[in-house]
Each structure stands twice: as C-alpha cells, then as structure tokens.
Amino acid sequence: MKFDDINWLPVGTAGFSPGMVQYISLAIDKNNVPYNSTPAMGC
C-alpha cells in the first residue's frame, strides 16, 4: 500500500496471498524500494 496524502492505495496485485500468512518479512533497499516476503501458512 502507498499513501497518496488522502487514501491508501494498493501497490502491485492486491490479495497476492490466497490464505493467511504466518509472518511478514519486509526490507527496503537504498532506493526506498520495498521487498516483502510472506510465506503462506500450510505451505
């Protein structure tokens, strides 16, 4: 999600995980590009 000063908007495909996730791993590189890893439960 990104904030446009008024609303939160999806970035990329919304709902990319079909189920619940156990935890979220987030990293941001030196160019402020976010990287998200969300292993799905039961995988």
pLDDT of residue 30: 94
25-28 and 34-37 strand pairing: antiparallel
DSSP letters for 1-43:
-EE-SS-EE--SSTT-SSS-BS--EEEE-TT--EEEE-PBTT-
Q: Which pTM does this prediction carry?
A: 0.43
> For 11-41, what is each residue's pLDDT tens digit?
777 766 667 777 788 899 999 888 887 766 6
**Residue 41's pLDDT is what?**
61
Contact 24, 38 (CB under 8 A): yes
Q: How much is the pLDDT for 5?
A: 92
Q: Are strands 2-3 and 8-9 parallel, antiparallel or unpaired?
A: antiparallel
6 has a pLDDT exceeding 90: yes
